[in-house]
Amino acid sequence: MATALKNLSNYDIYSVPNASNMKFGIVVAEWNIEITEALYNGAFNTLKKHGTKEENIFKIYVPGSFELTLGAQLIAENTDVDAIIVLGCVIQGQTRHFDFICSGVTQGITDLNLKYNKPFIFGLLTTNNQQQAIDRAGGKHGNKGDEAAITAIKMINLKNSLLT
């Protein structure tokens, strides 16, 4: 469903599993930091709301969105988190740079999911302008960080349910 028709922060709270025993890594791009930090705050607060202890949320920064995939891989290889959330923001410019960054991060996150058999959650905003990013980072369309946190919790729960 298009974001324009949905608030990213509206969900059925009772459909989300308890996350008190889950550990999360969050990779945040420094580029467009006002947007990415708002996404982080949404994810962090949502994880805590569903029982995650602060000490079980591991955060790192990377310079830009292209570096999100390596940052996520480094967390997977060097921590014991159950899922990794990647948060970035790429705003369309006048060159094809937008296309290359978005494509690279999308493919990179897909590859990490399969390589590590662990949820890597795509929280990259790909917007046409700054206002669209603001609208999706706590603005009128909610916060994509909330959605990424919920997705991480549900994917950990799915994986754990299939392992038992």
Phi, psi of 122 (to 5 degrees): -80, 105
Residue 99 CA to residue 35 CA, distance in Å, equals 19
Contacts with 123 (C-beta within 8 Å, 6 or more apart), sequence order: 39, 43, 85, 86, 87, 88, 144, 145, 147, 148
Residue 32 CA to residue 85 CA, distance in Å, equals 17
Residue 81 CA to residue 127 CA, distance in Å, equals 29
Distances (CA, A) of 57 to 25, 70, 101: 6, 18, 26
Residue 141: active-site member: no
- Which candidate in 97, 128, 130, 160 is catalytic? 97
Tell me how far the alpha carbon of residue 27 is from its chain's centroid. 8
Which residues are identified as catalytic? Answer: 97
